[in-house]
Amino acid sequence: STITNHMPTAELQALDAAHHMHPFSANGPLGKEGARVITRAKGVYLTDSEGEEILDAMAGLWCVNIGYGRDELADAAARQMRELPYYNTFFKTTHVPAIALAAKLAELAPGDLNHVFFAAGGSEANDTNIRLVRTYWAEKGHADKNIIISRKNAYHGSSVGSASLGGMVGMHAQGGIPIPNIHHINQPNWWAEGGDMTPEEFGLARARELEEAIQELGEDRVAAFIAEPVQGAGGVIVAPETYWPEIQRICDKYDILLIADEVICGFGRTGNWFGSQTVGIRPDIMTIAKGLSSGYAPIGGSIVNDEIAEVIGNTEFNHGYTYSGHPVAAAVALENLRILEEEKIVEHVRDVAAPYLKQKWEALADHPLVGEAKIVGMMASIALTPDKASRAKFASEPGTIGYICRDRCFGNNLIMRHVGDRLIISPPLVLTLSDIDEMFERILKSLDEAQ
Ligand code: PLP
């Protein structure tokens, strides 16, 4: 029989538990509990199979920047699927959606980031980056300059290559990760690791770990440094102001390529088109995905500067994906970028939504459970603490306060994520001021219930 939205929730959950393996989940317990069945969405609200309306303060997985339910994207997909549903760009062919999207991205991206290699998402794009930087240095006669430095607690994707770039302990514990020649330095998380230093001192100290690592590994061995402008999945970790200028100085001094992973920060999330602009860096490569299509179609890519494109262009780059530049996904992404631009959504974030959210968010630091409250544009976190003065930590096992808060939010029809001792949001960028008020009512209710 056909499985539809109209079936009873329990039946859908039973089928889900029997056959569907959820990513990043303990599928045994989840199957017993039953996953919440999301049936439709509009604007910033999801609807579940019981008819409950849920405020999605995570924009799906940090991706639905323009909000749900935009028919223009559905129409763009249908048009493209009828005209040319698939073709590749491997063997001396190309197509209009890939050309148009690459040209548009070159226009939007800062500096001379003018060349796009497409992938189906951020993980694939970061795998591409590993190949790109190693091929680049090899072509320049420095095949040994192949170590990529990343950061602990970074998230760069879930494939073996991208999870190796990432610094997630749980993923490294799965075996075979990281692959060779990836090196991790500490993250700039002042709340958790700053000790007695001021945030400014700590930011500098953590940036200088990059210089120390380069000196230790050898300048002629280090190919690139990769980082998210604001660490997202690690808990929305905002670096102190001293951090990024020092990172840029070190990359310049030692001729190390700087890769900005803009998968979350890109396309308006931080109040500029790219997070690199917000933190003031000049990357040589940017990883993009998520907000590129607002999650309506799977697409990502790497945008590289003129010099890298020229050097890579000298050789056969033995790399690519069936869905690199997929025409339907590219058409959807183009329509998404048109909406972001024409409806001035990045300006809405910068001038209207983010300032309003910031004032409310920072006031959360007065709540008894909350230590620091950090926010950049429309991504924000709070650190939960039993004692603000000593920046003490709650236990982080299941059943403890972070989980309780997250579950209370879920119960109050608010999707807010929990990472260790932090609660985070990354809502659709089209959130109105009254949506923000509604979100805060639910956040405060959930925090109070969790106390
Ligand atoms: N890079 C960053 C910064 C991310 O946050 C993510 C996903 O959350 C990825 C890469 C991986 O992207 P994808 O899940 O599209 O493969």
Tell me, what's the ipTM?
0.99
What pLDDT is attached to residue 221? Answer: 98
Nearest to 251 by CA among 310, 217, 207: 207
Q: What is the mean pLDDT of each run of 10 residues along the chain (451 residues)?
A: 92 97 96 97 98 98 98 98 98 97 98 98 98 98 98 98 97 94 98 97 98 98 98 98 98 98 98 98 98 98 98 96 98 98 98 98 95 97 93 85 90 94 96 97 94 83
Strand partners, 231: 237
Q: Is 144 helix (H, G, I), strand (E, B) or coil?
A: coil
Q: 61: CA distance to ligand 1 center in Å?
A: 9
Q: In 3D, which of 263, 301, 328, 343 has the Cα closest to residue 66?
A: 343
Could you give the CA distance from residue 167 to residue 313 in angstroms, rounded to a whole number? 31
Q: What is the pLDDT of residue 398?
A: 81
What was the pLDDT predicted at 46? 98
CA atoms within 13 A on the CB side of 347: 5
Nearest atom within ligand 1 for CA of residue 265:
3
**Closest atom, ligand 1, to C-alpha of 124:** 16
Residues 6+ apart with CB under 8 A from 69: 41, 42, 43
In this prediction, residue 403 carries a pLDDT of: 87
**Per-residue pLDDT, 32:** 96
For the record, the structure tokens of 19 come out as: 């056959």
Q: From the DSSP assignment, how many helices (H) and strands (E) are in the chain?
A: 18, 15
Position of tokens 């409250």? Answer: 373
How many angstroms separate the alpha carbon of residue 267 from the centre of ligand 1? 14
Q: 106-146 pLDDT, tens per residue?
A: 999 999 999 999 999 999 999 999 999 999 999 999 999 99
Give residue 397's pLDDT.
81
Residue partners of 389: CB distance under 8 A and separation at least 6 = none
Q: What is the pLDDT of residue 401?
A: 87
Nearest in space to 324 (alpha carbons), one of 73, 71, 125: 125
How far is it, in rounded angstroms, from Cα 55 to Cα 46? Answer: 6
What's the pLDDT score for residue 402?
84
Pocket of ligand 1 from Cβ distances under 6 Å: 61, 121-123, 126, 155-157, 228, 232-233, 261, 263-264, 289, 300
Can you give the pLDDT at residue 288?
99
Which domains, from first to last, does the chain contain? 36-66+344-450 (3.90.1150.10), 72-342 (3.40.640.10)
Assign 3-state DSSP to the chain and report helix, strand, coil percentages, each to 5.
45, 15, 40
List, in sequence order, every residue forming a beta bridge with 418; answer none if it has no partner.
423
Mutate to test the pocket of ligand 1, among 61, 123, 299 (most ligand atoms within 8 A of CB): 123
pLDDT for the residue numbered 263: 98
